[in-house]
Amino acid sequence: MTIRPSARLLARVVPTTALLLLCASPHAQDAPTPAPKSASAPGSPPAHFQVEQQKSQSSVTIGGRRIDYEAVAGTLVVHPKDWDDVPQDADKDDKKQPPEASMFYVAYFAKDGRDARVNTARPITFLFNGGPGSSTVWLHMGAFGPRRVLTANDSHTPAAPYRVVNNEYSLLDASDLVFIDAPGAGFSRISGKDKEKAFYGIDADAEAFADFIARFLSKYERWNSPKFLFGESYGTTRNAVLINLLETDKAIDFNGVINLSQILDFAGSPDDADIAPANDLPYELALPTYAATAWYHHVLAPPSRDLPSLLAEVQHYALNEYAVALAAGSSLDPAQRLTVANKLHDYTGLPVDYILKANLRITGGVFSKTLQATRDITVGRLDTRFSGPTIDPLSKEADYDPQSAGLGSAYVAAFNQYARTELKVGQDKAFKPFIDVERSWEFRHQPPGAPMPLPMTADVTPDLAMALKYNPRLKVMLNSGYFDLATPYFQGIYEMNHLPIPANLRGNIEIHFYESGHMVYANEASFKALHANVADFIRRASSTDGN
């Protein structure tokens, strides 16, 4: 039986504030402007899209150092797996034309006296959010682009005008940067016969990004640069499949893979975990995040306990006494059941009677709605530091995410203004922060060694493991926020500890934690630490001495 995410789950597996953006529903795909017939080789199908490029010059100050750069905003045209670039006879019916994607990107090339685009000594990092169905506006305007929008730390950001400022934590001090919108999202578009099937799925999506990266390296002559992938949320799922595809299928070794708010095995997600009653792992992996959240909102006793020691204790309990109790199922002794409920109350602040009614198993949505239910307050999912009024006090689970509602407008407005005034792109296009791919996304995945896509909950840990074994010099970095309930930090630890790799490769993986949520960069102190850690990782992994 194929286990597919429910409508609620699929909507929740998103990387950033794209989850419940307070914007209009996604428009239908913009009708592409056909390229002139002369743009296609004789006898080949007419192209749906043309390659675009718009250049601009500016500077950013990072750590007191001014960095001049060239920005290139444009599109590259990519195709599905097994596409043949040899001209073929075309069918005159445009509806039968092969699918294409016009993938939008913004690249930043630092200048140092040479041609910025072909300075192969500089690392180059490809960055993307996830969704699936998200643009990369979040990493671009909130994290590592040269401009960023200022937002509130843990509350709803006031409406416009928003402040867009010099980003002193941009990664341009360590690497050239390429922010990529997934097919169909942002300013990217898809067209052609069976276009959704061609690009919307775990494997199809990774193929499109691999095609994009290979084309980008050729266009900008960066084949010999140190290369990195940076993915957030579902972007980390993409990272695992993509890095294996790049290395084993396209012979493109990368220096490093950087994951922010990781999800590799969807069976570990606390979202709608109750649809699989025999799988208790999500409750165990989410428990430390529940505890961190209760600690942050001051509902634990004693309230003065420090967070690191609390989480160390909860992590141990989750994989030991709690795991044993859950594994017992209905055979659990009633006295032991009450003991566990009391311990969960100590760690989460939830009422004991509610925990007992929930059979010791609290999903993410239930926790967000229940933690402060007596005050009609719902806590965030992407960042549980955020909270807001409960929409329906009688609902079982949270009806929205206060963090998404609190930050989404600022990011979308800031990028729309920035793109059109500074980058000089998008004047005749609608920017789509997030598109609805629920009905089209193929979650079946063909892991290394499998003869076909498998009918099972998506798990891409074998892909990352294969990439590490295929390229033993590959470095992997995991960054996680303690207050992230969409992709709990302890789930990321669990996934890394279960990668099927030799012991000598485990030193290739490093993990960092922050007192922030899914979008670690939404917290200023955490953002500063994230920049320092990632920049240091890129410098070390780019070194030719092997250190």
Q: How confident is the model at residue 231, as a pLDDT?
A: 98
> Measuring CA to CA, how many Å separate 31 from each of 361, 410, 416?
47, 28, 20
Q: Do 251 and 301 fall within a single domain? A: no
Q: What is the pTM of this model?
A: 0.90
**Residue 90 pLDDT > 60, yes or no?**
no
Q: How confident is the model at residue 17 (pLDDT cuts 50, 70, 90)?
A: very low
- Classify residue 438 as exposed, middle or buried by CB count within 10 Å of its CB (0-12, 13-18, 19+): middle
Peptide bond between residue 282 and the one before it cis (omega within 30 degrees of 0): no
DSSP 187: T
Cα–Cα distance, 182 to 65 (Å, whole number)? 32
Tokens of 547: 């250190």
For residue 161, cis peptide bond before it (omega within 30 degrees of 0): yes
> Does one domain contain both 316 and 253?
no
Residues paired with 512 in a beta bridge: 479
pLDDT tens-place string over residues 293-343: 999 999 998 877 899 999 999 999 999 999 999 999 999 999 999 999 999
Domain limit, last residue, from 402, 430, 459: 402
In DSSP terms, 481 is beta-bridged to 514
- Separation of alpha carbons 180 and 166, rounded Å: 21
Instruction: Find the CATH number of the domain harbouring 205.
Output: 3.40.50.1820
Q: What is the mean pLDDT of the chain?
A: 89
CA gap 488, 12 in Å, rounded: 13
Span 525-536, average pLDDT: 98
- For the stretch 428-478, pLDDT in tens is 899 999 999 988 999 999 999 889 888 889 999 999 999 999 999 999 999
Does the residue 11 lie in any domain? no
C-alpha span between 522 and 432 (Å, rounded): 21
Q: Does one domain contain both 514 and 377?
A: no
Q: What is the pLDDT of residue 185?
A: 97
What is the C-alpha separation between 514 and 526, in angstroms, rounded?
6
CA-to-CA distance for 418 and 351, rounded, in angstroms? 47
DSSP-derived letter for residue 165 is E
Yes or no: say if 461 and 260 are a contact pair by the CB < 8 Å rule.
no
Tell me the C-alpha distance between 103 and 52, whole Å: 10
Same domain, 312 and 393: yes
Q: Which of 383, 402, 421 is the last residue of a domain?
A: 402
pLDDT confidence band for 282 (50 / 70 / 90): very high
Confidence at residue 83, expressed as pLDDT on a 0 to 100 scale: 74
Q: Which residue shows structure tokens 């090339």?
A: 109
CA–CA separation, 510 and 532 (whole Å)? 14
Q: Above 60 in pLDDT, residue 21? A: no
Domain hosting 127: range is 47-267+407-542
Total domains in the fold of the chain:
2
So what's the pLDDT on residue 117?
Answer: 58
pLDDT of residue 119: 72
Strands (E), 311-444: 377-379, 387-389
The pLDDT > 90 percentage for the chain reads 81
Alpha helices (runs of H) in 349-476, residue ranges in sequence order = 352-357, 364-370, 402-421, 461-470
Q: Does any domain span residue 29?
A: no
DSSP code of residue 456 = S
398 and 417 together in one domain: no
Dist CA 23 CA 278 (whole Å): 38
Is residue 86 pLDDT above 60, yes or no?
A: no
How many whole angstroms separate alpha carbon 19 and alpha carbon 131? Answer: 8
Do 356 and 421 lie in a common domain? no
The least confident of 134-148, 235-249, 451-465, 505-519 is 451-465
pLDDT of 105 higher than 90 = yes
Of residues 320 and 41, more confidently modeled: 320
CA 205 to chain centroid, in Å, comes to 13
